Amino acid sequence: MILNHIQGDGYPLVHCTKTGDASKIAVIHLLATAPKYQGQGIGRKMLEEAVAICRAENDISIRLDTLPWNVPGKKLYEGFGFKYIVDPQSVQFTFSS
C-alpha cells in the first residue's frame, strides 16, 4: 500500500466533496494483495489501517482511483464508505474522515 498526500496531476480537475489544504487530503496510490491471498480480507484490513492513519493525522479526506474493470476493488471501497466520483479517465473515490 502506498499512502501519502501527493495528488496526481489530474486530481485537482476532479470535483471532490472535500476541498482545502492539500496536505490534509490523503491519497491511496496503491492497495494490492498477491493473488493467492485475495479474498481473505487483507485488502479490507489495509484500508482500515489507512483510514486509521489518516484520522490520527486529522486528514479531511482520502482519495484513490482504480481501473474501471476492478470490480472487487470498487465493491471494497464502496462498502467501506468511499463515494464514487465520475471521471472519464478512471474511477475515483473519496472518503471523508
CATH number assigned to the domain covering 2-96: 3.40.630.30
DSSP state of 9: T
Any bridge partners for residue 93, and if so which?
64, 84
Low-confidence ranges of the chain (pLDDT < 70): 10-20, 86-97
Q: What is the pLDDT of residues 32-60, one digit of tens each?
A: 999 999 999 999 999 999 999 999 999 98
In which order are the strands placed within the sheet that holds 2-4? 2-4, 25-30, 61-66, 91-96, 83-86
